[in-house]
Structure 1
């Protein structure tokens, strides 16, 4: 018997006397495969499966190791390769030929799958909504197996579980069935409406944010946006826009409430570490100024006088005071009022110099020609100087400006001033292109005035910007990879070593330079370093953003009350770069504000 098994490629034991449901070893993997009933050979296991169905037998493939059932010959072969559940180290590994067992079940022994009949409604049963092959009782909403799909079992359940309903007519169960299906339909509708309402609330927040950022009136959503959406959906997309439009609440009060909620969410994200102001008493007053109040609330806040305002005061005081003294005026200062701090005076004087001949000809008719010609050198010199002040103004502006950039710009300008008065005293006008064009008309007395003027500007600017000039910026911030960790404070030595050992951070520093500190995820990776660095890169040294906000204020006051601008959240949403957490607000929002 053993030799017969080895010589024959496949061995099929005879069908047992058990009849239906007997198990027969059909084949060893890989094939050929033979039918145990008619001994027909097949090269593919799937073909054997289809062939067995012609004998009205159902095939189940079992793993020879763990007896796990698989739907196809290929799946059981793959499973056999991975299966080692019954093997031990002492056993010899069998050959890679899995014996596949076929459970052959007669169609007579196969379980019959019963179908639902409308006659079963008389016992209070309907098909289950989850599976139409399972019966469900309308009275207790319990589902049963398919084997219970028999009149006798249904009647038994009705008599035992619900005896009070045994004499109910068929019409009663019909009405109960209709009520059940209507309730199920309502639940589906409620779920769809709830999902649609959630999307509508989310859209309401996003549209309200756009309304605040553009400075439009709050009623524009209901009067313009929703009608526009309705037209687009109906005319362009050929969709019914009624339900969609009604799911987006954009009334005047709703938009106002949404904007305030998003503004409060942004305010919760704020972390004030520095404040820049002008020199007004209401801002820097010792007792009642804003800075004094802020330091009582937040003692560690860093405060700085706006660098653009300081430079503006230097240039304006020098020029205006000189003119007042020459005209013997009673006052040598001018009360400042609201104006743009970075007004390009350099460009104005450049245009004046470019039109010099035309202006002189015009003034000759007014009898001011001689005075204008006498001041020609002064005008050309001031045109060059205000052009340089204008360049400094541009360097101190921008949303990305910080203390390091501002200090570099101011220190550079102070050093340039020293070079200017040295060169102009030696009749070198390379840095003064307008004055160079009339170099032959400039005398020594004029040059002496210009030298003193430049020295006075340098001195005044050093006094006004002494805190910025003397600001200590550690070397490891400028070049974190070129400074030894031994030279820095003890509390950040380990963090600096971790940073210097990070090759990815080094490549980022080579690419971004000093901006690497804000591009990298430093607050989460190295909080000790970020605690020292953040003041130099986050603190804003000027009131540039405040000046930019004036235009927003002017636009907002045109469409609503001035008090609303101060108390509502429109201004914060229109100026802030922070994004509100709209998803969180939409989840916590009530569909109806009055509920």
Structure 2
């Protein structure tokens, strides 16, 4: 600012300081700078507290617990434990660890972004294969899930790539645009993608507008395969009459027990009393990625317990 304006401000706003010398204003400036430094020291968080906050956020994310559990339960419990076992001075240090709801959310977002950047960095420098699956969740939204496999340190590693919602129609073009946008944003070349695995749906394997066809336009050398689990489901639809009869009986028995909560509780109590390794049956569903073999395996393991809960006409099936 101009000296004339500074002088006018001093005379009009601070008339008591007009006759003060220069040393007085220098002391005022030094006091102001020290006050700023004290505020920084008070509000800053130590490196150990920051690291502890990230570790707690990591455990909350792995356990899939709400973010508020850190401030409402974990921190008070840790303070009580430390105060009893170590002392009040050590417990006071724990209170400086930032574990609020928003802090835990930011920590998880930071770790997620770091993991994503590390994965994309590996994919940029190596060949990889992608597995895709599009399914509808309980809210009716179409979710596209992608897994990736790539060589690392002499072995094949599998990681979760992304899960994104399809806002429009779940067509081959829409699905490919989501994948292509992710690859472009992550600066990952399609030339490094040597294989793609899908569920065999028309939107995935269509000859003209399917995801596989669009991906092969970017990399003609790409290998396309169908998921083995979906092949088993397709093969199980053409079972022989004998096997189909067994599967139908198994499904009816499982549904009879699982359809009512009381039946499920009584069956679980019976399994625990008989010392079975499992106490629940798997619900059979027509969802394509659910294996019927899992249902049959669980029923076979609990065949002795099922003899006590199924009608007498069906007992011969388990024996």
Q: Same fold (TM over 0.5)?
A: no
RCO (CA 8 Å, sep 6+): is it higher in 1 or 2? 1
Q: TM-score, normalised by structure 1?
A: 0.24
Q: TM-score, normalised by structure 2?
A: 0.42
The structure with the larger Rg is 1
